């Protein structure tokens, strides 16, 4: 595999404290990229940084930022920090994500899976877009999932108030990741910034370990069927480094191959509608904050 010269390139990864994001941060720092790691807990973020630094190539700068991405105020604060700190941003990796078996709402009143998995990367990317455009050729990579298959976006129940099933909701957000990427790519045409999404495979990470003992045990039982985090991060690392990828903007990848996602994920009208509704959701949260309610 041909690789871009990573030395001096600035990569920012959310969900970098564990699993796929941490493995990707380690691999990229080992190859010479400067890695900015976003975590939400200070101790886990510090520990992850130490791991990445231990294997980093000489001269690599590893930095950290703290943000609970379920809060849009935290996403905005994080974006402001990133803009103040990095004059150029070559690669943004929207990787943080989770599933919740019971319905919860964020501090903004948004159903939590939607807030973390979809609205956070949507808002964060939009806030960083001008900096990415000023760092050509830049890439935006979003960790989606094969779990999007069979899902549709519930436009009439976006906050999952009428019906909530943990895995079903997770599937919707992963479909949203792919639709977001394809609409973003259309909006980026001619800008020298490209957008890509991928499925990492079934990975033995911390995923679904936040849902109680039963789920914890289920994930342990499934471990023999899963791949390790390094393998799970392989396509992500490839999307950061491959010179070929920039020629196909907006696509979805599995094991370093472009694949067609589900028919719903290919629907341009749905992607546009989701974009507009997501903008309205973010604007709604902002205006509630500004009014202090
Ligand atoms: N594992 C799989 O089989 C699989 C398959 C397909 C797609 N994916 C996707 O892969 C991505 C990474 O997941 P993973 O498997 O590596 O799971 P993981 O080990 O649980 O890692 C998830 C990362 O996201 C962070 N995160 C979760 N909620 C957050 C929040 N509210 N604010 C900030 N950070 C938050 C976690 O931080 P903490 O350390 O603070 O918890 C952690 O760093 C997710 O988008 C997931 O949907 C995973």
Average pLDDT taken over every residue of the chain: 95
SS3 of 129, please? Answer: helix
Mean pLDDT of 75-94: 98
Tokens (6 digits) for 30: 């080992």
Which helix H or strand E contains 218, and what residues bound it?
Answer: helix 213-222
Atom of ligand 1 nearest to the CA of 146: 6
pLDDT in tens, 42-59: 999 999 999 999 999 999
Tokens (6 digits) for 5: 């010269």
**Which pLDDT belongs to residue 246?**
86
pLDDT in tens, 225-246: 999 999 999 999 999 999 889 8
pLDDT in tens, 173-199: 999 999 999 999 999 999 999 999 999
Give pTM, 2 decimals: 0.97
Atom of ligand 1 nearest to the CA of 16: 43
Q: Which of 62-66, 103-107, 151-155, 284-288 is least confident? A: 284-288
The alpha carbon of 253 and the centre of ligand 1 are apart by a number of angstroms equal to 18
Nearest residue (CA) to ligand 1, atom 47: 97
Q: Is the omega angle on the peptide bond into residue 137 within 30 degrees of 0, that is, cis?
A: yes
**Residue 86 annotated among the catalytic residues of the structure:** no
Instruction: Please report which confidence band the pLDDT of residue 3 belongs to, taking 50, 70 and 90 as the band edges.
Output: low
Q: How many CB atoms lie within 10 A of CB 225?
A: 8
Instruction: Please report which confidence band the pLDDT of residue 2 belongs to, taking 50, 70 and 90 as the band edges.
Output: very low
**Which pLDDT belongs to residue 185?**
98
pLDDT > 70: what percent of the chain?
98
């Amino acid at each position: 595999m041909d690789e871009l010269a990573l030395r001096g390139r600035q990569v920012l990864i959310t969900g970098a404290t564990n699993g796929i994001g941490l493995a990707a941060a380690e691999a990229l720092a080992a190859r010479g990229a400067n890695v900015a790691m976003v975590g939400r807990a200070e101790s886990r973020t510090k520990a992850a940084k130490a791991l990445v630094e231990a294997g980093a190539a000489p001269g690599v700068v590893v930095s950290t930022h703290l943000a609970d991405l379920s809060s849009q105020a935290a996403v905005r604060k994080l974006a402001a920090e990133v803009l103040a700190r990095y004059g150029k941003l070559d690669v943004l990796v929207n990787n943080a994500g989770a599933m919740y078996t019971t319905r919860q709402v964020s501090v903004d009143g948004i159903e939590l899976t939607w807030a973390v998995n979809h609205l956070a990367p949507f808002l964060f990317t939009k806030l960083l877009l001008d900096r990415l455009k000023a760092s050509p050729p830049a890439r935006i990579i979003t960790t989606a999932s094969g779990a999007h298959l069979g899902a549709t976006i519930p436009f009439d129940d976006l906050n999952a108030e009428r019906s909530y099933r943990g895995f079903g909701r997770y599937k919707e957000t992963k479909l949203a990741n792919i639709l977001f990427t394809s609409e973003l790519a259309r909006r980026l045409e001619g800008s020298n910034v490209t957008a890509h999404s991928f499925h990492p495979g079934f990975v033995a990470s911390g995923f679904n370990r936040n849902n109680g003992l039963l789920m914890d045990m289920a994930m342990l039982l499934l471990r023999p069927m899963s791949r390790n985090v390094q393998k799970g991060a392989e396509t992500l690392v490839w999307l950061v480094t491959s010179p070929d990828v920039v020629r196909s903007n907006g696509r979805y990848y599995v094991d370093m191959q472009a694949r067609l996602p589900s028919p719903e994920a290919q629907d341009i009208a749905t992607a546009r509608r989701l974009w507009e509704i997501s903008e309205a959701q973010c604007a709604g949260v902002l205006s509630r904050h500004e009014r202090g309610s």
